[in-house]
Chains A and B, each alone.
Chain A
């Protein structure tokens, strides 16, 4: 079990550019979550998938954000036309599902928008 992995670990981009992050969950984990964490704050929920279905999206997820989980395996989070306010750590987590739904977190992708 290699844990949740995220790529890239760091991303610096200019305002207006598009960026895409990838998350590979723990194998056989059915649920996959995305959170955003800004400096000095706790993570905030963005969206989650049950297998390939996106079941919930936060109002934080504006129309510039899109997430996919094709075939219920890895997931991508794309931000279009980045803004300075998008600068944050983007965390991915996965869980096995069921009632004892403990989430396991990846190392995160730190996005800096210049």
Chain B
């Protein structure tokens, strides 16, 4: 069975600094998708970035980028120039190409400090 592990329950970063959130996963599949979602306090989950496993190039979306290491089954999220609005729970999620359902990690609570 696939699993997703986020080993950092909480993190904090100073405004304008860079922070990296870790995620590891376990699967025997070769074709799958990985996601980072952001869940601000009392607000709905928003997609931050996605990565297709068959793509070697790491995905980037403005200040957000990932370090995808397929062999190590690692998928970390880097947030550059952190902003107060980045304060949220961040969830890593896995989806294989057959079932479509997401398997989520337990989340990392990120606090950006002014």
Contacts and interface: CB of A to CB of B under 8 A. Distances in A.
- Range class of the B interface residue count: 20 to 34
Contacts of A2: none
Contacts of A107: 43-44
Contacts of B33: 101
A95 B47 contact: no
A42 interface: yes
For the residues of A in contact with B, the DSSP-based class is: loop
A48 B91 contact: no
A104 interface: yes
Given A101-B33, A102-B47, A105-B45, A45 B106 contact: no
Contact of A31 (B43, B47, B100, B104): B100
A72 interface: no
Given A102-B47, A105-B44, A108-B44, A56 B104 contact: no
Nearest to B45: A105
A31 B44 CA distance: 19
B35 interface: yes
B59 interface: no
Given A42-B91, A43-B91, A104 B101 contact: no
Contacts of B106: 40-42
Contacts of A35: 102
Given A42-B106, A43-B91, A102-B50, A95 B44 contact: no
Interface string A42-56: 111100100000001
A42 B45 contact: no
B112 interface: no
5 contacts: A42-B93, A42-B105, A45-B101, A45-B103, A105-B44
Interface of A: 4, 31, 33, 35, 40-45, 48, 56, 91, 95, 99-108
Given A42-B91, A102-B35, A105-B37, 7 more contacts: A4-B44, A43-B102, A91-B45, A101-B100, A102-B50, A103-B102, A107-B44
Closest A-B pairs by Cβ, 4 of them: A42-B104, A105-B45, A107-B44, A45-B101
